[in-house]
């Protein structure tokens, strides 16, 4: 009886071990939105993209220009970047 119980416990431990050995999937790195803004806007000191700079965001402009003023500010750009809206945009 004790031998059967020991075998059952060993079997249960072997079946449960892989569940404890699993590690969570690594999180994707957070985008460097400040660097992306600098790439998109250059070294300009104003806080709004020019029309030419904003051309690359045309496909996502409705999601980025949240106040619908037709301009993309650094705040709107950063918020969109943090949400992952800009992940497929090439600057």
> 77 near 64, Cβ under 8 Å?
yes
pLDDT tens, residue by residue, 46-90: 999 999 999 999 999 999 999 999 999 999 999 999 999 999 898
For residue 67, give the 3-state DSSP assignment: coil
Only one residue has tokens 């104003």, namely: 46
> 83 near 76, Cβ under 8 Å?
no
Confidence (pTM)? 0.66
Rounded distance, CA 22 to CA 63, Å?
Answer: 37
Backbone angles phi, psi at 48, to 5 degrees: -135, 135
């Amino acid at each position: 009886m004790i031998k059967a119980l020991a075998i059952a416990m060993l079997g249960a431990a072997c079946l449960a071990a892989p569940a404890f050995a699993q590690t969570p999937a690594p999180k994707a790195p957070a985008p460097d939105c400040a660097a992306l803004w600098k790439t998109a806007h250059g070294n300009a000191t104003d806080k709004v993209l020019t029309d030419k700079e904003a051309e690359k965001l045309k496909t996502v402009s409705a999601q980025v220009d949240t106040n619908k003023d037709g301009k993309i500010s650094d705040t709107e750009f950063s918020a969109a970047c943090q949400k992952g809206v800009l992940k497929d945009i090439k600057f």
